[in-house]
Amino acid sequence: MPVAQINGINLGYDVYGSGEPVVMVTGTGAPGRVWRTHQVPALRRAGYQVITVDNRGIPPTDLCPEGFTLDDMAADLAALIEHLGQGPCRVIGTSLGGIILQELLLARPELISQAVLMASGGRADALITAMSAGDIELSESGSKIPPRYAAYTHALQNLSPRTLNDEEKLQDWLTVFEMSPLDPAAVRNQLGLELIPDRLPAYRRIDRPCLVIGFADDLVVRPYLSREVAEAIPGAAYTEIPGCGHYGYLERPTAVNSAIIDFFAR
């Protein structure tokens, strides 16, 4: 994996193929490799070059134990795009990655030609605030959650009833979650970054074409929060994918990939 020295840190990224570039940004605690199974192959078949990023706090990118902000993460993406000589380019972000891209759209719009914002919100509501506080408290407690317990709670939080009611698919997910648990302490400095004030008025200044994707069964960022983002951004399109939760891009990748590629072709 190549590493760029930008903004005083080492930032890890991967580049797949050639063509017009698409930069992909993950959510809290997720490495860039989560895009490899479904999104990278689909975008490559559509003729795009794909660039995935490991955000601050995710190795091999520096952990930055002193802490960092959303503005720092948006600046990292801007610097990476410039480092690679790829702007303006298409960008995709999910969850926290979507919030980062929304700030990049405001700060450095000249680097972006089109943006896809998945499971993203423009404000922290009561549930997001409560979840964030709980995650931070857990990370700072030093407590270790048993892997099997973490797996099923992770499934309940991030998957749809459609998947939870399919025993074969659910077992596959539980196995993955148990083998690769998210350690809140390891990503402590990313926790709480989704606690943003109401940014919807600011998003009215975004002037790049945007597609906002909500996931119908998302319990983390309920789709009404994503609809608010689309309604705030002038001219933004909104689509809601049924039968998937917060991990909609992994649960229903064909529908998600089609929406992205169709939007990019406009």
Neighbours of 100 (CB within 10 A): 28
Q: Which residues contact 144 (CB under 8 A, 6 or more apart)?
A: none
* Residues designated catalytic: 95, 218, 246
In the numeric block, which tokens belong to residue 104?
A: 């990049």
Q: How far apart are CA 261 and CA 92, in angstroms?
A: 11
Q: How far apart are CA 19 and CA 44, in angstroms?
A: 9
